[in-house]
A and B are shown apart, each in its own frame.
Chain A
Amino acid sequence: MLLEVKNVKTEFKMKKGMVKAVNDVSFQCEKGEILAIVGESGSGKSVTSLSIMGLLARNAKVTEGEILFKGENLLDKSASEMRAIRGNQISMIFQEPMTSLNPVLRIGDQLTESIILHMKLSKQEAMQRAVEMLELVGIPSPSQRVKDYPHQMSGGMRQRVMIAMALACNPELLIADEPTTALDVTIQAQILDIIYRLREKLGMAVLLITHDLGVVAEAADRVVVMYCGKVVEEAKVEELFEKPLHPYTMGLLASIPRADEDKEKLYMIKGMVPNPMNMPAGCAFSDRCEKCMSICKEQEPAIREKDGRKVRCHLYTNDLEVIH
Chain B
Amino acid sequence: MIKYIIKRLLLLIPVLLGVSIIIFAIMRVFSPDPAGIVLGQHATEEKMVEWRAANGLDQPVVTQYVEYMKGVFKGDFGTSYYSKKPVAKEIFSRFPATLELAFCAIIIASVFGMSLGVLSAVKKNSWIDNMSMVLSLVGVSMPIFWLGILLIIFFSGTLGWLPAQGRIETLLRPENVTGFYLIDSLIKGNMESFSSAVRHLVLPSIALAMYSMAIIARMTRSTMLETLSQDYIRTARAKGIVERKVIRKHALSNALIPIVTVIGIQLGSLMGGAVLTETVFAWPGIGKYTVEAIMKSDFPIVQGVVLLVAFIFVMMNLVVDIIYAFLDPRIKYS
Decide if A and B are genuine partners.
yes
Contact (Cβ within 8 A) B231 A83: no
Contact (Cβ within 8 A) A151 B231: no
CA distance A105 to B242 in the complex (A): 17
**Beta-carbon contacts under 8 Å, A78-117 to B:** 80, 82-88, 91-92, 94, 96, 99-105, 113-114, 117
Task: Say whether B173 faces chain A, with CB atoms less than 8 Å apart.
Answer: no
Contact of A102 among B232, B240, B242, B327 (CB under 8 A): B232
Contact with B along A170-211 (1 / 0, CB 8 A): 000000000000000000000000000000000000000000
Task: Say whether B222 faces chain A, with CB atoms less than 8 Å apart.
Answer: no
How many residues of chain B have a CB within 8 Å of chain A? 20
10 nearest A-B residue pairs (beta carbon)? A87-B239, A87-B240, A86-B240, A114-B239, A99-B231, A83-B240, A102-B232, A149-B329, A100-B231, A92-B238
Task: Say whether B188 faces chain A, with CB atoms less than 8 Å apart.
Answer: no
Task: Say whether B276 faces chain A, with CB atoms less than 8 Å apart.
Answer: no
Contact (Cβ within 8 A) B241 A102: no
Task: Say whether B235 faces chain A, with CB atoms less than 8 Å apart.
Answer: yes
In the bound complex, residues from chain B placing their C-beta under 8 Å from that of A165 are 235, 239
Per DSSP, chain B at the interface is: helix
- Count, A-B residue pairs, CB within 8 A: 74
Known: A88-B240, A114-B240. A102 touches B235 (CB 8 A): yes
Contact (Cβ within 8 A) A162 B235: yes
Contact with B along A62-85 (1 / 0, CB 8 A): 000000000000000000101111
Contact (Cβ within 8 A) A83 B330: no
**Beta-carbon contacts under 8 Å, B225-284 to A:** 230-232, 234-242, 249-250, 253-254
**Which residues of A pack against B, CB within 8 Å?**
53, 55, 80, 82-88, 91-92, 94, 96, 99-105, 113-114, 117-118, 149, 151, 162, 165-166
Contact (Cβ within 8 A) A104 B328: yes
Closest to B257 in A: A104
Q: What is the distance, in angstroms, from A276's C-beta to the closest C-beta of chain B? A: 21
Contact (Cβ within 8 A) B232 A101: yes
In the bound complex, residues from chain A placing their C-beta under 8 Å from that of B239 are 86-87, 91, 113-114, 117, 165
CA distance A84 to B240 in the complex (A): 6
Contact (Cβ within 8 A) B231 A118: no
Closest to B254 in A: A104
Contact of B238 among A80, A91, A101, A149 (CB under 8 A): A91
In the bound complex, residues from chain A placing their C-beta under 8 Å from that of B253 are 102, 104-105
CA distance A107 to B189 in the complex (A): 47
Contacts A87-B240, A101-B232 supplied; 16 other A-B pairs, CB < 8 Å:
A82-B240, A83-B241, A86-B238, A86-B239, A99-B231, A100-B235, A101-B235, A102-B253, A103-B232, A103-B254, A104-B253, A113-B236, A114-B239, A114-B241, A117-B241, A165-B235
In the bound complex, residues from chain B placing their C-beta under 8 Å from that of A85 are 240
**Which residues of B pack against A, CB within 8 Å?**
230-232, 234-242, 249-250, 253-254, 327-330
27 contacts between A and B (CB under 8 A): A53-B238, A55-B237, A82-B240, A83-B240, A86-B237, A86-B240, A87-B238, A87-B239, A87-B241, A94-B234, A94-B235, A100-B234, A100-B235, A101-B235, A102-B235, A103-B232, A103-B328, A103-B330, A104-B253, A104-B254, A104-B328, A105-B253, A114-B241, A117-B240, A149-B330, A151-B329, A162-B235
In the bound complex, residues from chain B placing their C-beta under 8 Å from that of A55 are 234, 237-238
Q: What is the distance, in angstroms, from A265's C-beta to the closest C-beta of chain B? A: 36
Q: What is the distance, in angstroms, from B103's C-beta to the closest C-beta of chain A? A: 27
CA distance A113 to B232 in the complex (A): 13
Closest to B230 in A: A99
Closest to A118 in B: B240
In the bound complex, residues from chain A placing their C-beta under 8 Å from that of B235 are 94, 100-102, 162, 165
Q: What is the distance, in angstroms, from A159's C-beta to the closest C-beta of chain B? A: 12
CA distance A188 to B330 in the complex (A): 26
Closest to B245 in A: A113
In the bound complex, residues from chain A placing their C-beta under 8 Å from that of B328 are 103-104
CA distance A17 to B115 in the complex (A): 34
In the bound complex, residues from chain B placing their C-beta under 8 Å from that of A103 are 232, 254, 328-330
In the bound complex, residues from chain B placing their C-beta under 8 Å from that of A149 are 329-330
In the bound complex, residues from chain A placing their C-beta under 8 Å from that of B234 are 55, 94, 100
CA distance A274 to B119 in the complex (A): 39
CA distance A86 to B250 in the complex (A): 17
Contact (Cβ within 8 A) A99 B240: no
Known: A53-B238, A87-B240. A96 touches B329 (CB 8 A): no
Closest to B243 in A: A79
Known: A103-B328, A105-B253, A149-B330. A94 touches B240 (CB 8 A): no
Q: What is the distance, in angstroms, from A155's C-beta to the closest C-beta of chain B? A: 13
CA distance A88 to B238 in the complex (A): 9
Closest to A89 in B: B240
CA distance A100 to B230 in the complex (A): 8
In the bound complex, residues from chain B placing their C-beta under 8 Å from that of A53 are 238
In the bound complex, residues from chain A placing their C-beta under 8 Å from that of B329 are 103-104, 149, 151
Q: What is the distance, in angstroms, from A161's C-beta to the closest C-beta of chain B? A: 11
CA distance A85 to B242 in the complex (A): 12
Contact (Cβ within 8 A) A102 B254: yes
